[in-house]
Amino acid sequence: MDTLDINITGTLIWYYYICKRQVWLMAHAINPDEDNPYIDLGRLVHETSYQRENKKEIMFDNVKMDIITDGDQQIVVAEIKKSSRYEKSATMQLAFYLKKLKDVGISASGELRFPTEKRREKVELTDEISNELDSVREEIKSIILMEKAPKPEKCRYCPPCGYNEFCWV
């Protein structure tokens, strides 16, 4: 696989901040257990929240943004998450979307939405975050090009993980 052929997505950015092994598995078309109750719950929260928003799931380039709305000064890209447990990964995933838009001349701000917590968190693309994303994209490419998946490492995200069987069984 050539590095030019590697398509970095928001999902890979999300996984990078949770587990490098998940990055490799997802990039090699090895999907998590679709019957995992935590994945089902996440889908349910995503499908049933903010149904009145009229611009839901917008595709752009290689990303799928949950919601785009008009803000006061610019558009707002919103990402729906079932909980704030993965807030760092969610923030970076959303920042990745904001960077993709900025790269084509579209100014946008971001908003993480946690409907089960009735909470919203603003996300802005700073120079620091943009530089971090550039580094992370290169690291993700390196992970994807590995011959084998990185060894599993236990972390606090392992118990509900849809890839659990690929690591600990």
- Specify burial of residue 7 (Cβ count, 10 A radius: 0-12, 13-18, 19+): exposed
Q: CATH code at 99? A: 3.90.320.10
pLDDT 10s digits, 4-19: 568 899 999 999 999 9
| 143-152: average pLDDT | 94
pLDDT at 144 over 90: yes
| pLDDT digits 0-9 by tens, 56-109 | 677 888 788 877 787 777 888 988 888 888 899 999 999 999 999 999 999 999
Q: Report which residue type is found at 107.
A: S
Of 161 and 86, the one with more pLDDT: 86
Q: pTM of the predicted model, to two decimals?
A: 0.84
Is the pLDDT score of 33 beyond 80?
no
β-strands 108-114, 63-70 pairing: unpaired
Q: How many domains does the chain have?
A: 1
Top pLDDT among 120 and 116 is at 120
Residue pair 83/117 in contact (Cβ under 8 Å)? The answer is yes
Domain containing residue 78? 3-168
